[in-house]
Amino acid sequence: MTKKLLYIGNKLSGKGNTVTSIETLGGFLESEGVVIYYASSKKNKIIRMLDMFFKTIKYSRKVDFVLIDTYSTINFWYALIISQTCRLLKVKYIPKLHGGNLPYRLEKSEFLSKLVFNNAYINIAPSKYLYDNFKKKGFEKLIYIPNTIELANYPFEKREYDFPRLLWVRSFSKIYNPLMALKVFEKVKQKYPNATLTMVGPRKDESNEEAILYSEKNKLNVEFTGKLTKKEWIDLSKKSNIFINTTHYDNTPISVIEAMALGLPVISTNVGGIPYLISHDENGFLVEDSDVDGMVKQIVTIIENSSRINDVTISARNFVSDFDWDKVKFLWFKLLNEQHNF
């Protein structure tokens, strides 16, 4: 029997935002024959919430489950309203947990969090980090299904390490700390004048303007591409040789998984779920949050010890092979087709 889902999330790539799980996972599931209805692609937050609410009512008798992308900030309230609507309508709902700051939400909004997560059919943790944090808080309706990519779309490239050619891929938002990338690049150029930095991603807040202003003021000559399609930034990555991730907090970002799949050595801040993804000096490199000098040191280490970097990147590629859709899809099949009693 064909399963039918209503997928609740921010389907906003057509409005200039980055592609999120609702579009990637939704597309994967549709390719396997799952029927999916979506909400919402409305840009205005209030209209988007209303669209989610009314579509939940509309499709409540047509779907097997309502899948809800659940975040820690304003989108938490979407999840709260839709989950409680599902309870009233007696339809099974599944929160899919996102965002490295969700553990803080569990602390800050304990009662509301229990309303959402204890009454779910099941909660999906796409990282061991969130799985462990939810378990510690006593949530039992919980399974781990990792974020996923199609590994075949990410050709593994061997790199030349003549000088640093840095790549940063994320939305320009303060939580992702793009200014750190510029400060790192500024120091790297003192040692490697030919070094380059390419920053890929759409504007989310004023950190975009701050980054451009800092680059211009300090004559850094950074390439800001804006939002690119997946294929465009994968093609662009071929001219880079180090991927830097500067976030303040995080879960298991797809951009880091993709960089590991492409054979780019990754240097990331050691926050949230990142240490569940990267083992320092084994399949990538970790520095402390906002540690500019530490990240510069790791970049220099890669350039000056490039003979062993191939082992690191091969290890990274092998690690992220477990995120391939051809493996992950069977976890989804099991979830959607088995009757669970919790």
Taking alpha carbons only, the member of 196, 182, 164, 189 closest to residue 264 is: 164
Ranges of each domain in the chain: 4-148+324-337, 151-322
- Residue 7 confidence (pLDDT): 97
Query: How does DSSP classify residue 15?
Result: G
Instruction: Provide the CATH number for the domain formed by 151-322 in this structure.
Output: 3.40.50.2000
Q: Give how far Cα 236 sits from Cα of 111, 156, 203, Å.
A: 46, 14, 19
- Residue 342 confidence (pLDDT): 46
Q: Which helix (H) or strand (E) holds 97?
A: strand 93-97
4-148+324-337 and 151-322: identical CATH topology: yes
- Residue 20 confidence (pLDDT): 83
Query: Which single residue is written with the structure tokens 């900030």?
Result: 73
Instruction: Provide the CATH number for the domain formed by 4-148+324-337 in this structure.
Output: 3.40.50.2000
Cα 300 to chain centroid distance, Å, stands at 27
- Residue 339 confidence (pLDDT): 59
168-195 residues labelled b (16+ CB within 10 A) or e (exposed): bbbbbbebbbbbbbbbbbbbbbeebeeb
Q: Give the whole-angstrom CA distance, residue 103 versus residue 208.
A: 27
Mean pLDDT by 10 residues, the chain (342 residues): 91 78 93 95 93 97 96 90 97 92 91 96 95 94 95 94 97 95 98 97 93 96 94 94 95 94 98 95 97 98 92 97 96 84 47
The partner residues of 243 in beta bridges, in order of sequence, read 167, 266
Regarding pTM above 0.85, the answer is yes
- Expressed in angstroms, the distance from the first to the final Cα of the chain is 23
